[in-house]
Amino acid sequence: MWKFFHQLASPPHFYRLAAVLSPWLAAPGIALIAYGVYAGLFLAPMDYQQGDAFRIIYVHVPSAYLSMMAYMIMAVSGGIGLIWRIKLSHAVAAAAAPLGAAFTFLALATGSIWGRPMWGTWWEWGDPRLTSELILLFLYFGYMALRAAIDDTAKADKASAVLALVGVVNVVIVHYSVEWWSSLHQGQTLMKKGGPAMDPAMLYPLLAMILGFTLLFGSLLLRRVRTEVLFRERRTRWVREMILSPEGS
């Protein structure tokens, strides 16, 4: 049991393991997304209130959930790297940040496209989720900017881990303060919480999309970690040997 974890933290071992795992996550992920897109766009019935516009949730909900999940992965693995000095977990944090930012942007973009026909505006400051998501995007930008500004990788890892951990505490505060703030603005057309129970024909594609996006995210993350590990370990013997060996990677 412990041997597995110790091996996991070793860059060459993880590099090979990730290469094996990545396609196994990607294949079912893409299959689920393909099903979700088809079922969501063609099979699911129209919403009695929102018409076809509701179908954007099949991209919006998974992106929004992954935007937060990626931040947690980034902060937790940064914290693990800081406490137990595991270099690999810093590589995971570094690899997760741009993915998280991308999903945050996707969640914001789809939310704003949905908001145009529903609320009659691209952007609604009164909605707490939009505002918190935007602040999350800025947190990602700050994190990546700090990483980019420090030349020494080890230092950049630790400094950005501290920032990510401070950010986690702050995300909670942001959430509640924004909620309090938006409750001041009376009469906003807030999205109904869940609404009536979803029709299974609408729900199953959504679940498929959420699972599919998560698997695809996992696969992409592993691929990015591989690149990150390869770059960070570029001066080590195992990388040189692997590159010089006839099979390549």
Partner 1 sequence: MTDAHKEQPSIFSGLAATARRDLLLAWKRPGDVLNPLFFFAMVCTLFPLAVGPSAEQLEFSGPGVLWVAALLATLLSLNSLFGSDFEDGSLDQLLVSPQPLPVLALGKTAAHWLTSGLPLVLVSPILAITYRMPMSVVGVMMLTLTLGTITLSLLGSIGAALTVGLHRGTALLSLLILPLAMPVLLLGANTVSLAAGNDVYTTGIWALGAYAIASLSLAPYATAAALRISNE
Q: Can you tell me which of 25, 32, 139, 239 binds partner 1, judged by CB under 8 A?
A: 139
Q: Give the nearer residue to partner 1 in terms of CB position, either 184 or 197.
A: 184
Q: Can you tell me which of 122, 181, 231, 238 binds partner 1, judged by CB under 8 A?
A: 181
Q: Which two tokens stand for residue 198?
A: 């979803």
Q: Measured between alpha carbons, how far is 101 from 116 in angstroms, rounded to an integer?
A: 23
Which range of residues in 19-27, 48-56, 143-151, 192-200 is near partner 1 by CB under 8 A? 143-151
Q: Give the nearer residue to partner 1 in terms of CB position, either 105 or 204.
A: 105
Which range of residues in 5-13, 111-119, 166-174, 198-206 is near partner 1 by CB under 8 A? 166-174
Question: Residue 173, interface with partner 1 (CB under 8 A)?
Answer: yes
Question: Residue 83, interface with partner 1 (CB under 8 A)?
Answer: no
Work out how close the CB of 29 gets to partner 1 at its nearest, in angstroms, rounded to a whole number: 30
Question: Residue 76, interface with partner 1 (CB under 8 A)?
Answer: no
Which residues are at the interface with partner 1 (CB under 8 A)? Answer: 135, 138-139, 141-142, 145-146, 149-150, 154-155, 158-159, 162-163, 165-167, 169-170, 173-174, 177-178, 180-181, 184
